[in-house]
Structure 1
Amino acid sequence: MAPKAVTSPVPVAWYPSLSVLMLAIGLMLTASFFIYEATTSRRNRSLSKEIATGALASVFLGFGSLFLLLATGVYV
């Protein structure tokens, strides 16, 4: 029995669009995080909101970077 070839669950043609979309969302969340930190007083800050915003920004920037590398031909 011949082994099956490993294929991507996402079509290769979508890589550039996904990278731009995810990097844009990640950068907007990062900007939102920095604006929140700069404009909210120390007493009114919410740790859960900071962690949630930071984690979401990190996930979107991570996957956006991955798809950017894949779109440029760097297979990781």
Structure 2
Amino acid sequence: MDVSKMNKYHAPVHFSSFPHLTITLCGIGLLLIAYFTVAQVTATKASRSLVKDVTVATLASFFLGFGSLFLLLWVGIYV
């Protein structure tokens, strides 16, 4: 197995886009958390919906998780 004949690895996301992805994904996640918090504080028992609450919480978790991943990659902690 000759190393010179092997293909060079290219990451699926270019490292120059890590800052943009971090700010965008974390920003969306924080906005969803803010919406979820305001909705929980201002809603009455009758107006709450489990499906809506779980959907918003799942989306916020998804965006903050990937935002945190790209933040770690941006600062050089390769996970």
Q: Structure 2, unaligned stretches of length 5 or more?
A: none
Matched, 1:9 2:12: yes
Select which of 50, 65, 69 maps to 1:66: 69
Alignment match, 2:24: 21
Q: How does 1:43-62 map to 2 (within 5 A)?
A: 43-62=46-65
TM-score (norm 2): 0.89
Equivalent residue number for residue 40 of structure 2: 37
Question: What SS does structure 2 have at the residue aligned with 1:43?
Answer: coil
CA RMSD of aligned residues (A): 1.3
Compute the displacement of 1:27 (Å): 0.2
Q: Which sections of structure 1, spanning at least 5 residues, go unmatched?
A: none
SS of 1:74's partner is coil
Percent of pairs identical after alignment?
Answer: 43
- May I ask how many residue pairs the two structures share in their alignment? 76
Give the partner amino acid of 2:33.
T
Given the two structures, how large is their TM-score scaled by the length of structure 1? 0.92
Q: Please state how far the C-alpha of 1:4 moved relative to its aligned partner.
A: 3.8
Structure 1 position 36, deviation (Å): 0.4
Counterpart code for 2:40: E
